[in-house]
């Protein structure tokens, strides 16, 4: 991959600023909406759902490259209006696919993000033209493209002057017939290892069926995806395109709720459903965060006990390690717009309690690891009594 002069790995990963929302950083971005724009009412309902779920981007196709010439081809320019008005009315960015120079010219001044689909991944003329815009470009991996071909396609856009490229893994064609495509999370990880560009995943086109989309979405976030592009339709049974792989608004909301914990488990954040900005709604969200904080502190105290058992009657307090942790967390707090002083005060209390726990363990004498683990499994040790 010697020709990856611009798409290749750099000292730091690229974090794109998309009208105040960031992609490629700590937060996993949610993008959702129907495969095809069909009406103003449909897009308004879809935009409302995406917004309520903490999404940042409303997607919808207005030009549809279809396998059959008799399938719905999209609403064209009228569809652009429906998409953009619905997105902006709900504080979302509008994203749509371009299929040729003409469609690119029509949408470039209207939408916030353009997408180049799998069938056009190696449409080099289109890639160059996309590179001459200043719009973020979602570049989907081709149906049978290698990672090298995918990254070289991104190189075309970058070399034409546009640094705002988003790679999208959407599954590749294999011998498997129970799914529409085969989601290749290994390729996503390879792409992240070879390139500085953010990488998102489209589990909808990989699955082709709604029952496994949630599992694929969770796996993608756990593996390190920077965002998800998920198809959702207010009424999938009446969808003119890809209804069988479109989640209902209720399914979309449930998945968004479940993804919060998945992202948290791999040190990422996910906005999750938003239920208004009234005082009661905001307090309800605070309550959820508070429970998550207590759960994390409880997990830390469990580890503190294990460390206490490992130390035995040895030195309990390690001031140098405490100082190192405080320094690291103060820096992390600054990067997350959190008060370093607050974090330092909090951890001073945590350290004091940890020392107390380990001192009590040391006074009891050594405990074998196997015995301790057996007791923990049986619930005989009250690890989280604090």
pLDDT digit string, tens, across residues 139-193: 999 999 999 999 999 999 999 999 999 999 999 999 999 999 999 999 999 999 9
Q: What is the spatial distance between Cα 55 and Cα 253, in angstroms, rounded to a whole number? A: 10
The two three-digit tokens of residue 111, written as one number: 């939408």
Asked, for residue 11, whether it belongs to a domain, the answer is no
Domain of residue 204 covers 16-265
What is the domain count for the chain? 2
Domain match, 195 and 330 both:
no
Asked, for residue 203, whether it belongs to a domain, the answer is yes
Q: How confident is the model at residue 67 (pLDDT cuts 50, 70, 90)?
A: confident
Domain match, 210 and 286 both:
no
pTM attached to this predicted model = 0.76
Domain match, 89 and 186 both:
yes
Domain match, 336 and 259 both:
no
382: helix, strand or coil: coil
Q: What is the spatial distance between Cα 273 and Cα 260, in angstroms, rounded to a whole number? A: 9
pLDDT of residue 284: 63
Domain match, 229 and 322 both:
no
Residue that terminates a domain, selected from 265, 299, 333 = 265
Domain match, 98 and 189 both:
yes
Domain match, 169 and 199 both:
yes
Domain match, 238 and 290 both:
no
pLDDT digit string, tens, across residues 323-382: 999 999 999 898 888 999 999 999 999 999 999 998 888 877 655 444 444 444 444 333
Asked, for residue 36, whether it belongs to a domain, the answer is yes
Helices and strands, counts by H and E, the chain: 13, 10
Domain match, 239 and 374 both:
no
Domain match, 254 and 289 both:
no
Q: What is the spatial distance between Cα 207 and Cα 244, in angstroms, rounded to a whole number? A: 10
CATH number at residue 117: 3.20.20.70
Domain match, 303 and 230 both:
no
């Amino acid at each position: 991959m010697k020709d990856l002069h611009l798409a290749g790995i750099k000292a730091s990963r690229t974090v794109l600023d998309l009208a105040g929302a960031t992609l490629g950083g700590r937060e996993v971005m949610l993008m959702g909406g129907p495969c095809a724009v069909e009406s103003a009412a449909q897009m308004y309902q879809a935009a409302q759902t995406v917004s309520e779920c903490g999404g940042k981007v409303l997607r919808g196709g207005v030009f549809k490259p279809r396998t059959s010439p008799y399938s719905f081809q999209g609403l064209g320019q009228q569809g652009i209006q429906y998409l953009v008005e619905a997105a902006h009315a709900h504080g979302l960015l509008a994203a749509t696919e371009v299929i040729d120079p003409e469609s690119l010219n029509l949408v470039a001044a209207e939408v916030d993000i353009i997408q180049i689909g799998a069938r056009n991944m190696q449409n080099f003329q289109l890639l160059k033209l996309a590179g001459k815009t200043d719009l973020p470009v979602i570049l989907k991996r081709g149906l049978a493209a290698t990672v090298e071909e995918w990254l070289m396609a991104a190189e075309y856009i970058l070399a034409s002057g546009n640094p705002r490229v988003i790679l999208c893994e959407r599954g590749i064609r294999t011998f498997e017939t129970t799914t529409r495509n085969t989601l290749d999370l290994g390729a996503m990880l390879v792409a992240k290892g070879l390139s500085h560009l953010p990488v998102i995943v489209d589990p909808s086109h990989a699955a082709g069926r709604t029952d496994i989309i949630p599992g694929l979405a969770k796996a993608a976030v756990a593996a390190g995806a920077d965002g998800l592009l998920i198809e959702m339709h207010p009424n999938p049974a009446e969808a003119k395109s890809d209804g069988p792989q479109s989640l209902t608004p209720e399914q979309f909301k449930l998945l968004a709720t479940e993804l919060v914990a998945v992202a948290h488990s791999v040190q990422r954040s996910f906005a999750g459903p938003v239920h208004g900005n009234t005082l009661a709604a905001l307090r309800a969200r605070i309550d959820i965060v508070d429970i998550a904080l207590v759960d994390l502190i409880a997990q830390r105290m469990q580890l503190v006990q294990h460390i206490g058992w490992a130390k035995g009657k040895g030195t309990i307090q390690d001031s140098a390690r405490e100082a190192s942790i405080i320094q690291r967390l103060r820096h992390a707090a600054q990067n997350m717009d959190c008060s370093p002083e607050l974090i330092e005060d909090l951890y001073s209390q945590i350290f004091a309690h940890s020392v107390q726990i380990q001192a009590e363990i040391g006074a009891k004498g050594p405990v074998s690891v196997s015995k301790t683990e057996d007791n923990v499994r049986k619930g005989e040790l009250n690890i989280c009594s604090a």
